[in-house]
Amino acid sequence: MDVGPRHLFVTRGDLTALHCDAWLLPTDRDGSVTPGWVVTMAATGRGVGDARGGRLDEPARRELAADGATVLRRPSAAGPGIVACDTAVPHHDVPAAARAASTALQRLTALTADAAGPSAALELPRPRPLVALPTVGVGAGGGHGVRGAVLAGQLDALQAALARDDAGPDVVLVCFDHEHYAAAQRARRSAGGDERFAALVGPELHERVVALAAHARAGRLVPFVGAGVSMGAGLPSWVGLLDELIADAGMEADRPALDRLDLRDRAALIQSRLGAGRLAEILLERLGRARRVALQHQLLASLPVTEAASTNWDDLFERAWTAAGAGPVAVLPFDGRAADGSWIVKLHGTVRDGRLHGVVLTREDYLRFGAERNALAGIVQSLLLTRHMLFVGFGLNDETFHRIAHDVRLVLERTVGLHGTGAYATSLSPSRHSVSEELWRGQLDVLSTRRPEDGEGRAGTAPAARRLEILLDALGMHAVDPLGHLLDPTFDGALSEPQRRVAAALRRFAADVGPASAALGPDDPTAAAIAAWLDRMRPADR
């Protein structure tokens, strides 16, 4: 099956928390690492650390000195492989950073060539393995003063390596903060990212992504995270979970009869046979399988969004979102009112502190939703009316969603007329949805990433799911603030030549207007507005 060429993803978050087959631990030539990696080294048993940083053990240092890299852990179902590699960047040496990225990818590719890593354990295994590496040399390293050029060089080197060898894994470059993530996305787009994505997903889907990115940049995009997203982290689908529970309840002989029941009634019979307490124990054990976030979690969490909704019980998206710089994420209704920061509505309950809270599973739970969760439904309805909601990994057949969407439809029909409003949401799915598209016409744009050549059944879903990841990656590239970093010359290497000329002009303007606006006084609204506009062009975390 042709799954398409290898792909380079760019995300922001915690490299060590990503569900992948292998990832890179950056060191210098002596095997030393910065303090943030010390805990990771200790977990491999191959390093020691103190408050100043850490260092690989002596056998690993010898391998590093002889070969420039050493394997700290091989991939297995228990976790991804880890390769330590000398990625030190001499002062302002951009080619050295590119070579380091290329060498690191070679080591990761070799490590995953014959390994059956975590991807093989997924309900829908990836058609290609996935390896991850961090940006190098742009933090406290020798490339900090030319970090835009260093990032652009790394991206070019990785892209060239993928083009040379089409038999290897997909790659994700994980940025540790927003400023480097935004600069990497800008560099990728300047190097022909638009054309590359249009060729991968097709012009029509690419055009839809550009429109979604405009919503994101304007603060109007709201992700709705469904169970399909968490399948990439090793969790089962809703139907797959019930299949497992049937076996746990000793109801295999009843499976033909159970298969004819509504899923909610099937869950009620399973709960009756197991008992509520035992069912909760099993569900917690199943959710505990996912120790790392999926690539889709990290791609969605990298978007410039502050509001989200989900029917998932797991907390994987919240973890990815926090690691991507969202700060503490309020989970509604369990954290009371939403704070000024990011928040997510959990419609079907959540897991927290080793316990399940407010889980919706059986028909009785769904019926109780109307009595207990009207406030949550109202929040989602408000988001549907005032934002553009992006459904990912969600089948659009959930009873709770149907109730919410029905009320929104009535409001629109009674006011401005449904067909005059345009779609208020978009659904991205790896399944074919010709019937759903007709059912939701005028309300939701239902976009499928499945192609005829993918085939039918489960076998065809894996390449379509990977294509959905690529679509989310394109969304991230287009959603980045176009004004970011323009006042910081260390990022000039990530800009095109016309952009650099604009940036130079803006710096001259900022040098003149900054002192002049300050003379207006701190209470003058003009000064505040100018300061806010200039801040958009300085590297700052969101």
**pLDDT value for 541:** 43
**pLDDT value for 525:** 86
Query: Is the pLDDT higher at 37 or at 305?
Result: 305
Query: Is the pLDDT higher at 256 or at 514?
Result: 256
Comparing CA positions, the residue from 532, 319, 296, 269 lying closest to residue 391 is 296
How far is Cα 345 from Cα 457, in angstroms, rounded to an integer? 32
Comparing CA positions, the residue from 378, 349, 345 lying closest to residue 362 is 349
**pLDDT value for 312:** 93
Report if residue 252 sits inside a domain.
yes
Report if residue 204 sits inside a domain.
no
- Domain check: are 57 and 107 in the same one? yes
**pLDDT value for 542:** 40
**pLDDT value for 484:** 79
Unique residue bearing structure tokens 């169970």: 227
Report if residue 100 sits inside a domain.
yes
Comparing CA positions, the residue from 282, 294, 244 lying closest to residue 266 is 244
Domain boundary among 128, 158, 191: 191
**pLDDT value for 133:** 94
- Domain check: are 133 and 47 in the same one? yes
* CATH number of the domain to which 181 belongs: 3.40.220.10
Task: Determine how β-strand 388-392 pairs with β-strand 425-429.
Answer: parallel
pLDDT digits (tens, 9 = 90+) for 160-195: 999 998 888 999 999 988 889 999 999 999 889 999
Report if residue 144 sits inside a domain.
yes
How far is Cα 179 from Cα 195, in angstroms, rounded to an integer? 24
For the entire predicted model, the pTM comes to: 0.92
How far is Cα 209 from Cα 220, in angstroms, rounded to an integer? 14
How far is Cα 476 from Cα 213, in angstroms, rounded to an integer? 8
**pLDDT value for 213:** 96
Does residue 370 have a pLDDT over 70? no
Q: What is the percentage of the chain residues whose pLDDT exceeds 90?
A: 34
Report if residue 128 sits inside a domain.
yes
32-39 CB contacts, 8 Å cutoff, 24+ apart: 32/56, 34/139, 34/140
**pLDDT value for 68:** 87
- Domain check: are 282 and 325 in the same one? no
- Domain check: are 21 and 108 in the same one? yes
**pLDDT value for 50:** 56
> What distance lies between CA 185 and its chain's CA centroid?
14
**pLDDT value for 269:** 92
Report if residue 117 sits inside a domain.
yes
- Domain check: are 430 and 451 in the same one? yes
- Domain check: are 103 and 220 in the same one? no
In degrees to the nearest 10, what's the CA dihedral of 160, 161, 162, 164? Answer: 90
- Domain check: are 388 and 255 in the same one? no
**pLDDT value for 51:** 52
pLDDT digits (tens, 9 = 90+) for 450-492: 887 777 666 668 888 999 999 999 999 999 988 878 888 988 9
pLDDT digits (tens, 9 = 90+) for 315-353: 999 999 999 988 889 998 888 766 678 999 998 899 988
Q: Which domain holds residue 69?
A: 8-191
pLDDT digits (tens, 9 = 90+) for 387-422: 999 999 887 777 777 777 777 777 776 665 544 456
- Domain check: are 143 and 226 in the same one? no
Mean pLDDT of the chain: 85
- Domain check: are 267 and 298 in the same one? no
Structurally, the chain folds into a number of domains equal to 4
Comparing CA positions, the residue from 21, 10, 11, 8 lying closest to residue 160 is 8
- Domain check: are 464 and 509 in the same one? no
pLDDT-wise least confident of 107-116, 263-272, 401-410, 502-511: 401-410
The listed range with the strongest mean pLDDT (113-117, 211-215, 400-404, 431-435) is 211-215
Query: Is the pLDDT higher at 89 or at 7?
Result: 7
Does residue 372 have a pLDDT over 70? no
pLDDT digits (tens, 9 = 90+) for 24-71: 999 888 888 887 777 676 667 676 665 556 888 888 889 888 888 899
Name the pLDDT band for 314 (thresholds 50, 70, 90): very high
Unique residue bearing structure tokens 């960047």: 89
Domain boundary among 270, 287, 304: 287
Unique residue bearing structure tokens 């059956």: 116
The listed range with the strongest mean pLDDT (95-99, 120-124, 234-238, 308-312) is 308-312
Query: Is the pLDDT higher at 46 or at 138?
Result: 138
pLDDT-wise least confident of 195-204, 359-368, 448-457: 448-457
- Domain check: are 388 and 467 in the same one? yes
- Domain check: are 47 and 78 in the same one? yes
Task: Determine how β-strand 81-86 pairs with β-strand 69-73.
Answer: antiparallel
Label residue 204 exposed, middle or buried (CB < 10 Å: 0-12, 13-18, 19+): exposed
